[in-house]
Amino acid sequence: MPDAPPQIDEWTALLAARAGGPLPQGPLGRLFAPVLAAPRTDDGCTVVGRLAQTLDGRIATAAGSSQWIGGEADILHTHRLRALCDVVLVGAGTVRHDDPRLTTREVAGPNPVRVVLDADRRLPAAHRVFTDGAAPTLLVAATDGPAAQGQAEVIRVARGAAGLDLAALLRLLAARGLRRVFVEGGGRTVSAFLAAGLLDRLHVTVAPVILGSGIPAFSLPEVARIADGMRFGWSVTPLGDDILCDIAIARARPGA
Protein backbone atom coordinates (compact mmCIF):
# COMPACT_ATOMS: atom_id res chain seq x y z
CA MET A 1 0.00 0.00 0.00
CA PRO A 2 1.56 3.37 -0.98
CA ASP A 3 2.49 5.80 1.74
CA ALA A 4 0.07 8.65 2.41
CA PRO A 5 1.28 12.02 1.07
CA PRO A 6 3.00 14.12 3.73
CA GLN A 7 0.85 16.74 5.42
CA ILE A 8 1.96 20.35 5.22
CA ASP A 9 1.03 23.00 7.72
CA GLU A 10 -1.43 25.73 6.84
CA TRP A 11 1.15 28.51 6.65
CA THR A 12 3.25 26.53 4.14
CA ALA A 13 0.08 25.98 2.13
CA LEU A 14 -0.64 29.72 2.23
CA LEU A 15 2.82 30.49 0.86
CA ALA A 16 2.10 28.06 -1.97
CA ALA A 17 -1.24 29.82 -2.56
CA ARG A 18 0.66 33.11 -2.79
CA ALA A 19 2.37 31.64 -5.84
CA GLY A 20 -0.91 30.45 -7.37
CA GLY A 21 -1.65 27.23 -5.51
CA PRO A 22 -5.00 26.38 -3.88
CA LEU A 23 -6.01 28.16 -0.69
CA PRO A 24 -5.97 26.06 2.48
CA GLN A 25 -9.35 25.73 4.17
CA GLY A 26 -8.31 26.44 7.76
CA PRO A 27 -8.59 29.69 9.76
CA LEU A 28 -5.49 31.25 8.21
CA GLY A 29 -6.79 30.49 4.74
CA ARG A 30 -10.10 32.17 5.51
CA LEU A 31 -8.42 35.22 7.07
CA PHE A 32 -5.94 35.82 4.26
CA ALA A 33 -8.12 34.77 1.29
CA PRO A 34 -9.10 38.39 0.49
CA VAL A 35 -5.43 39.40 0.48
CA LEU A 36 -4.51 36.67 -1.99
CA ALA A 37 -7.57 37.08 -4.23
CA ALA A 38 -6.98 38.51 -7.71
CA PRO A 39 -7.36 42.30 -7.69
CA ARG A 40 -10.63 43.68 -9.09
CA THR A 41 -9.61 47.32 -9.08
CA ASP A 42 -8.88 49.70 -11.93
CA ASP A 43 -5.29 50.15 -10.76
CA GLY A 44 -4.72 46.38 -10.53
CA CYS A 45 -3.78 46.41 -6.84
CA THR A 46 -5.17 44.94 -3.62
CA VAL A 47 -4.34 47.34 -0.78
CA VAL A 48 -4.43 46.22 2.85
CA GLY A 49 -4.06 48.75 5.67
CA ARG A 50 -2.82 47.74 9.10
CA LEU A 51 -2.81 49.37 12.54
CA ALA A 52 -2.38 48.24 16.13
CA GLN A 53 -4.21 50.45 18.62
CA THR A 54 -5.14 50.67 22.28
CA LEU A 55 -8.68 50.43 23.63
CA ASP A 56 -8.87 54.22 23.53
CA GLY A 57 -7.80 54.37 19.89
CA ARG A 58 -4.15 55.37 20.24
CA ILE A 59 -1.32 54.01 18.10
CA ALA A 60 1.49 55.69 20.04
CA THR A 61 2.18 57.92 23.00
CA ALA A 62 2.33 61.67 22.50
CA ALA A 63 6.13 61.32 22.27
CA GLY A 64 5.79 58.77 19.45
CA SER A 65 6.56 55.52 21.32
CA SER A 66 4.64 52.67 19.65
CA GLN A 67 6.66 49.47 20.22
CA TRP A 68 4.87 47.34 21.07
CA ILE A 69 1.14 47.98 21.47
CA GLY A 70 0.20 44.49 20.30
CA GLY A 71 1.61 41.27 21.68
CA GLU A 72 3.65 38.48 20.09
CA ALA A 73 0.68 37.13 18.10
CA ASP A 74 0.12 40.58 16.61
CA ILE A 75 3.78 40.80 15.55
CA LEU A 76 3.48 37.36 13.95
CA HIS A 77 0.37 38.49 12.06
CA THR A 78 2.20 41.55 10.74
CA HIS A 79 5.09 39.43 9.48
CA ARG A 80 2.64 37.06 7.80
CA LEU A 81 1.07 39.98 5.95
CA ARG A 82 4.52 41.09 4.82
CA ALA A 83 5.29 37.61 3.50
CA LEU A 84 2.02 37.34 1.57
CA CYS A 85 2.24 40.77 -0.06
CA ASP A 86 4.47 42.10 -2.82
CA VAL A 87 5.01 45.44 -1.05
CA VAL A 88 5.20 46.67 2.53
CA LEU A 89 4.66 50.43 2.56
CA VAL A 90 5.26 52.94 5.36
CA GLY A 91 5.40 56.69 5.75
CA ALA A 92 8.48 58.72 6.61
CA GLY A 93 7.33 59.17 10.22
CA THR A 94 7.36 55.42 10.85
CA VAL A 95 10.93 55.16 9.55
CA ARG A 96 12.01 58.21 11.54
CA HIS A 97 10.56 57.03 14.87
CA ASP A 98 10.97 53.23 14.66
CA ASP A 99 13.78 52.62 12.13
CA PRO A 100 12.02 49.36 11.10
CA ARG A 101 13.56 46.62 8.99
CA LEU A 102 10.21 45.58 7.41
CA THR A 103 11.36 41.99 6.84
CA THR A 104 9.74 38.59 7.48
CA ARG A 105 12.19 37.40 10.10
CA GLU A 106 9.40 35.96 12.33
CA VAL A 107 7.99 33.64 9.63
CA ALA A 108 9.05 31.57 6.67
CA GLY A 109 8.40 33.45 3.46
CA PRO A 110 9.88 36.08 1.15
CA ASN A 111 10.68 39.62 2.14
CA PRO A 112 8.47 42.09 0.26
CA VAL A 113 9.70 45.12 -1.61
CA ARG A 114 9.92 47.95 0.93
CA VAL A 115 8.34 51.27 -0.08
CA VAL A 116 8.91 54.43 1.95
CA LEU A 117 6.87 57.59 1.32
CA ASP A 118 8.95 60.74 1.85
CA ALA A 119 7.58 63.50 -0.37
CA ASP A 120 10.28 66.04 0.49
CA ARG A 121 13.17 63.58 0.93
CA ARG A 122 13.88 64.56 4.52
CA LEU A 123 14.92 61.13 5.80
CA PRO A 124 18.66 60.52 6.16
CA ALA A 125 20.16 57.59 4.27
CA ALA A 126 21.37 55.98 7.52
CA HIS A 127 18.06 54.22 8.26
CA ARG A 128 18.17 50.44 8.01
CA VAL A 129 15.72 50.15 5.12
CA PHE A 130 18.21 52.13 3.02
CA THR A 131 21.36 50.31 4.15
CA ASP A 132 20.78 46.69 5.20
CA GLY A 133 20.24 45.16 1.73
CA ALA A 134 17.65 42.76 3.16
CA ALA A 135 15.13 43.49 0.41
CA PRO A 136 14.71 45.84 -2.54
CA THR A 137 13.61 49.28 -1.34
CA LEU A 138 11.88 52.16 -3.12
CA LEU A 139 11.86 55.70 -1.78
CA VAL A 140 8.88 57.62 -3.17
CA ALA A 141 9.36 61.38 -3.37
CA ALA A 142 7.81 64.40 -5.06
CA THR A 143 11.01 66.42 -5.26
CA ASP A 144 13.90 66.01 -7.67
CA GLY A 145 17.21 64.70 -6.46
CA PRO A 146 19.64 61.77 -6.72
CA ALA A 147 18.35 58.52 -8.21
CA ALA A 148 19.27 56.57 -5.08
CA GLN A 149 18.99 56.93 -1.31
CA GLY A 150 21.63 54.62 0.11
CA GLN A 151 20.74 51.25 -1.47
CA ALA A 152 17.16 52.34 -2.27
CA GLU A 153 15.93 53.33 -5.70
CA VAL A 154 14.13 56.69 -5.75
CA ILE A 155 10.94 57.01 -7.78
CA ARG A 156 9.18 60.32 -8.31
CA VAL A 157 5.43 60.75 -7.93
CA ALA A 158 3.51 64.01 -8.28
CA ARG A 159 2.13 65.71 -5.21
CA GLY A 160 -1.44 65.07 -4.14
CA ALA A 161 -3.79 65.92 -1.29
CA ALA A 162 -1.92 63.58 1.07
CA GLY A 163 1.53 64.82 0.08
CA LEU A 164 1.84 62.32 -2.79
CA ASP A 165 -0.55 61.19 -5.51
CA LEU A 166 -1.30 57.76 -4.03
CA ALA A 167 -3.46 56.62 -6.94
CA ALA A 168 -0.58 57.31 -9.33
CA LEU A 169 1.77 55.43 -7.00
CA LEU A 170 -0.44 52.32 -7.09
CA ARG A 171 -0.43 52.39 -10.88
CA LEU A 172 3.37 52.61 -10.87
CA LEU A 173 3.65 49.67 -8.48
CA ALA A 174 1.23 47.57 -10.56
CA ALA A 175 3.31 48.31 -13.68
CA ARG A 176 6.26 46.73 -11.85
CA GLY A 177 4.19 43.64 -11.03
CA LEU A 178 3.76 44.72 -7.39
CA ARG A 179 0.03 44.25 -6.91
CA ARG A 180 -0.48 43.19 -3.28
CA VAL A 181 0.28 46.31 -1.25
CA PHE A 182 0.48 46.16 2.54
CA VAL A 183 0.23 49.65 4.07
CA GLU A 184 1.75 48.96 7.48
CA GLY A 185 1.74 52.47 8.90
CA GLY A 186 1.74 54.82 10.43
CA GLY A 187 -1.70 56.18 11.18
CA ARG A 188 -1.37 59.19 8.89
CA THR A 189 -0.33 57.01 5.96
CA VAL A 190 -3.13 54.48 6.49
CA SER A 191 -5.57 57.39 6.91
CA ALA A 192 -4.32 58.96 3.66
CA PHE A 193 -5.07 55.78 1.72
CA LEU A 194 -8.48 55.52 3.42
CA ALA A 195 -9.33 59.17 2.72
CA ALA A 196 -8.37 58.69 -0.94
CA GLY A 197 -10.64 55.64 -1.28
CA LEU A 198 -7.70 53.34 -1.97
CA LEU A 199 -8.01 50.70 0.79
CA ASP A 200 -9.55 47.33 0.00
CA ARG A 201 -9.07 45.81 3.44
CA LEU A 202 -8.15 47.04 6.90
CA HIS A 203 -6.64 44.90 9.67
CA VAL A 204 -6.84 46.62 13.05
CA THR A 205 -5.47 44.97 16.18
CA VAL A 206 -6.99 46.23 19.43
CA ALA A 207 -4.86 45.65 22.53
CA PRO A 208 -6.20 45.72 26.13
CA VAL A 209 -4.31 48.92 26.93
CA ILE A 210 -5.52 52.42 27.79
CA LEU A 211 -3.07 55.30 27.40
CA GLY A 212 -5.42 58.23 28.06
CA SER A 213 -3.61 60.39 25.51
CA GLY A 214 -1.37 60.00 22.51
CA ILE A 215 -1.51 59.78 18.73
CA PRO A 216 -4.94 58.74 17.37
CA ALA A 217 -5.25 55.79 15.02
CA PHE A 218 -7.00 57.74 12.26
CA SER A 219 -6.79 61.30 10.97
CA LEU A 220 -9.81 61.90 8.73
CA PRO A 221 -12.15 64.78 7.87
CA GLU A 222 -14.42 65.71 10.78
CA VAL A 223 -18.09 64.72 10.66
CA ALA A 224 -20.97 66.49 12.42
CA ARG A 225 -23.18 63.46 13.12
CA ILE A 226 -22.60 59.83 14.09
CA ALA A 227 -24.66 58.86 11.04
CA ASP A 228 -22.06 60.53 8.81
CA GLY A 229 -19.25 58.27 10.01
CA MET A 230 -17.94 55.34 8.00
CA ARG A 231 -19.53 52.06 9.11
CA PHE A 232 -18.44 48.60 7.98
CA GLY A 233 -18.95 44.91 8.55
CA TRP A 234 -16.07 43.03 10.12
CA SER A 235 -14.90 39.71 11.46
CA VAL A 236 -13.03 39.42 14.75
CA THR A 237 -10.20 36.96 15.42
CA PRO A 238 -8.33 36.48 18.73
CA LEU A 239 -4.60 37.27 18.56
CA GLY A 240 -3.24 36.11 21.89
CA ASP A 241 -4.44 38.71 24.42
CA ASP A 242 -5.44 41.08 21.57
CA ILE A 243 -8.21 40.95 18.97
CA LEU A 244 -7.88 41.44 15.22
CA CYS A 245 -10.66 43.23 13.33
CA ASP A 246 -10.68 42.31 9.63
CA ILE A 247 -12.69 45.01 7.86
CA ALA A 248 -13.83 45.03 4.25
CA ILE A 249 -13.29 48.66 3.18
CA ALA A 250 -13.82 47.99 -0.55
CA ARG A 251 -12.36 51.38 -1.58
CA ALA A 252 -14.95 53.37 0.41
CA ARG A 253 -13.97 56.90 1.31
CA PRO A 254 -15.16 59.43 3.90
CA GLY A 255 -18.15 61.46 2.79
CA ALA A 256 -18.92 59.25 -0.21
CATH number at residue 193: 3.40.430.10
Give yes or no for a contact between 134 and 111, defined as CB atoms under 8 angstroms apart: yes
Instruction: Decide if 216 is inside a domain.
Output: no
Instruction: Decide if 152 is inside a domain.
Output: yes
Instruction: Determine the pLDDT at residue 115.
Output: 98
What is the per-residue DSSP string for 109-134? Answer: SPPPEEEEE-TT--S-TTSHHHHS-S
Instruction: Decide if 90 is inside a domain.
Output: yes
Give yes or no for a contact between 173 and 45, defined as CB atoms under 8 angstroms apart: yes
Instruction: Decide if 73 is inside a domain.
Output: yes
Instruction: Determine the pLDDT at residue 6.
Output: 43
Whole-number Cα distances in Å, 120 to 132, 148, 235:
23, 14, 38
Instruction: Decide if 104 is inside a domain.
Output: yes
Instruction: Determine the pLDDT at residue 8.
Output: 59
pTM of the model: 0.92
Instruction: Decide if 13 is inside a domain.
Output: no
Q: How far apart are CA 185 and CA 95, in angstroms?
A: 10
Give me the amino acid identity at 124: P
Q: How many domains does the chain have?
A: 1
* Angular region, 109: left φ>0, alpha ψ -120 to 50, beta rest: left
Task: Say which residues have a Cβ less than 8 Å from residue 233's Cβ, sequence separation at least 6.
Answer: 247, 248
Q: What is the domain extent for residue 79? A: 43-211+233-248
Instruction: Decide if 77 is inside a domain.
Output: yes
What is the per-residue DSSP string for 25-80? Answer: SSHHHHHHHHHHSPP-STTS-EEEEEEEEETTSEEE-TT---TTSS-HHHHHHHHH
Instruction: Determine the pLDDT at residue 1.
Output: 35
Instruction: Decide if 100 is inside a domain.
Output: yes
Smallest CA-to-CA distance from 183 within 256, 231, 117, 122 is with 117
**What is the residue-level pLDDT of the chain in tens, covering all 256 positions?**
333 344 459 999 999 999 999 999 999 999 999 999 999 999 999 999 999 999 999 988 887 777 788 999 999 999 999 999 999 999 999 999 889 999 999 999 999 999 999 999 999 999 999 999 999 999 999 998 889 999 999 999 999 877 899 999 999 999 999 999 999 988 999 999 999 999 999 999 999 999 888 888 888 888 888 888 889 999 999 999 999 999 999 999 987 7
Q: How far apart are CA 120 and CA 118, in angstroms?
A: 6
* Angular region, 38: left φ>0, alpha ψ -120 to 50, beta rest: beta
